[in-house]
Amino acid sequence: AQSVAQPEDQVNVAEGNPLTVKCTYSVSGNPYLFWYVQYPNRGLQFLLKYITGDNLVKGSYGFEAEFNKSQTSFHLKKPSALVSDSALYFCAVRDIQNTDKLIFGTGTRLQVFP
Amino acid sequence: DSGVTQTPKHLITATGQRVTLRCSPRSGDLSVYWYQQSLDQGLQFLIQYYNGEERAKGNILERFSAQQFPDLHSELNLSSLELGDSALYFCASSVGGDNSPLHFGNGTRLTVT
């Protein structure tokens, strides 16, 4: 079965520092991976996706993600964090064996301190 | 703005009652997905419709049902409500296919008292 894991419940980083939010995946076949962000009292917003091609994927709001097949990881990164990046981040994998629904990780809360 | 509209935003009801949550997908999107978000269960997939037909079922209770209408809007019906049904219910839509991301509405917060 397809699954993703987010090993950190919370990540704290100072404003201006680089940030990384970790995600590992377990899939049969080629992975279709996504990152979403959720701000308080809002729905999930799509940040970026990896389907195939370059291992470094660029997305919205200056975020990027690095796909690593050997480590089965898809970590979300940003070179310089902003206080406004503080939110809940979800990694997701497409369940291509069953349907095209997304299976989400448990989420990582990012806190950026001024 | 994702283009996905969910109503109502908040719903407070008593145990044993029945409620209906409504979702209007983005223009042109044929797939509608329902998810439940709770503190202890995270984001759980409930059910998916594609162009009016049920496509996949997830962890949806028998007390819950959904449908997608010819105009592509969808409704999620929750009946015999229990305290544990209190959660955020999200609707998402996509054009369909492996490459297309899901676009989420802002959710309906259901509180069962």
List pLDDT tens digits, range A49-96.
998 888 999 999 999 999 999 999 999 999 999 999 999 999 999 887
Q: Residue B93 pLDDT more than 70?
A: yes
The pair of structure tokens assigned to B13 is 């009801």
Chain B contact probe: residue of A30, A57, A94, A99 with most B CBs at under 10 A: A99
Tell if the CB–CB gap between A100 and B97 is shorter than 8 Å: yes
Mean pLDDT, all residues of chain A: 93
pLDDT of residue B95: 87
- Per-residue pLDDT tens over the stretch B25-64: 999 999 999 999 998 778 999 999 999 999 999 989 999 9
- Per-residue pLDDT tens over the stretch B69-88: 999 999 999 999 999 999 99
Residue B13 DSSP one-character state: E
Query: CA-nearest residue of chain B to A103?
Result: B45
The C-alpha atoms of residue B90 and residue B104 are separated, in whole angstroms, by: 7
Distance of CA A46 to the CA centre of its chain: 10
The answer to whether A90 touches A103, Cβ cutoff 8 Å, is no
The C-alpha atoms of residue B111 and residue A77 are separated, in whole angstroms, by: 36
> Could you tell me the pLDDT band of residue A98, with boundaries at 50, 70 and 90?
low
Q: Residue A97 pLDDT more than 80?
A: no
Tell if the CB–CB gap between B94 and A100 is shorter than 8 Å: yes
